[in-house]
Amino acid sequence: MNLRIKKAIIFLALVICCANFVEAQTLPGFPTDVDDETPTAPIDGFISIAAAVGIYLGLKGKSNSEN
């Protein structure tokens, strides 16, 4: 094989490989009747209570380790 044919084969192989990667990364399609506007599990006030308890326990543990 001459150099021109080898370059053409390598180029075509690279194009085919790159086209497969692009096709594999497309996003899947979803049906249009899905309700994605309303949250299924809303974040409520327990998050702030859990954060306060975590801060308290962290400060309590830090003060116990210093003694």
State whether residue 34 is helix, strand or coil.
coil
Residue with tokens 């210093």: 66
pLDDT of residue 55: 92
Dump pLDDT digits (tens) for 10-62.
898 888 877 666 555 566 677 777 777 777 776 777 888 889 999 999 988 87
* pTM (two decimals): 0.37
Cα angle, residue 45 at apex, residues 43 and 46 outer, rounded to 5°: 90
Question: How far, CA to CA in Å, does 45 sit from each of 3, 39, 67?
Answer: 70, 16, 34
| 7 has pLDDT over 80 | yes
Count of beta carbons in the 10 Å neighbourhood of residue 38: 6
